[in-house]
Amino acid sequence: MRQEDIWGAETARRYDTPGTGMFAPEVLDPAVARLAELAGGGAALEFAIGTGRVGVPLAGRGVPVTGIELSPSMVEQLRTKADEATLPVIVGDMATTVAPGRFSLVYLVYNTISNLLTQAEQVECFRNAARHLAPGGRFVIELWVPGLRTIPPGRQATVWRTDADYIGLDTYDILRQHVVSHHFRFDDTEQARLYRSPHRYIWPAELDLMAQLAGFALESRHADWSGAAFTAESRSHVSVYRLDAAPRGG
């Protein structure tokens, strides 16, 4: 499964779910508000901007936003909401592609760093963030906590969501630190639609070491965008890293 194939035209067409799911106001509004605060009046760069779920409303708050996106199909969908002058996007991968300018904020939301399937690529993503930031700039990552504690011995899969029309489960390859998310959608017929996406999961401590290698220090970590405390029971986190030194590895 190549990322270019996963995020193709069909995925782009059905990605946006206005008002529900990841587009629900209670999910999206706190994220946009926090990112606007962290930008501090400067410009922001979104890695893997997708269809502009976060970038478009953030630009609407007056934050100059630029995006990097691997999928031309996702960018095409974004263009139905914002033109190039309003929200410029460079097509490329988030680990190596360089956008013009210097930014006060780089951000990467909704688990997307895990789309990079090797540790080396994930480290390069941090280094790429560092090259784009002015001194003292911030790199923000939203990421889930691996659910390995829910897997009984001898099992490789965990079901993490069940709805009337949807089942989500993950299968783990613990040796390679890989997980494949399986999304089953169905209706009243006997047919189901399956969508799969591969990821490399990252523990918070490993993420912090990646940050250190790129010249960042952890500034804060919360369980969500609203600032809830991060605990051993948290299923996700929002981590804010600050660039306190000259970028390394650029």
Q: Could you tell me whether strands 236-243 and 103-108 are parallel, antiparallel, or unpaired per DSSP bridges?
A: unpaired
Query: Residue 125's pLDDT is what?
Result: 98
- Are 107 and 32 within 8 A, CB to CB? no
Q: Could you tell me whether strands 178-186 and 166-173 are parallel, antiparallel, or unpaired per DSSP bridges?
A: antiparallel
Domain ranges of the chain: 3-145+202-243, 148-199
Per-residue pLDDT of the chain (250 residues; tens, 9 = 90+): 556 566 666 777 777 787 888 889 999 999 999 999 999 999 999 999 999 999 999 999 999 999 999 999 999 999 999 999 999 999 999 999 999 999 999 999 999 999 999 999 999 999 999 999 999 999 999 999 988 888 878 888 888 889 888 899 999 998 899 999 998 988 888 888 888 889 999 999 999 999 999 999 999 999 999 999 999 999 999 999 999 855 444 4
**148/166 Cα distance (integer angstroms):** 22
Residue found by looking up tokens 């079901």 in the block:
159
**Structure-token pair, residue 223:** 């369980």
Q: Which sign, positive or negative, has the C-alpha torsion 69, 108, 16, 200?
A: positive
**Structure-token pair, residue 47:** 């890695």
**75/35 Cα distance (integer angstroms):** 21
Query: φ, ψ for residue 182 (rounded to 5)?
Result: -110, 125
- Are 141 and 220 within 8 A, CB to CB? no
Query: Residue 139's pLDDT is what?
Result: 98
Query: Residue 3's pLDDT is what?
Result: 60
Query: φ, ψ for residue 65 (rounded to 5)?
Result: -115, 135
**3-145+202-243 is classed CATH 3.40.228.10:** no
What is the arrangement of strands in the sheet containing 166-173, beginning at the earlier edge strand? Answer: 157-163, 166-173, 178-186, 192-200
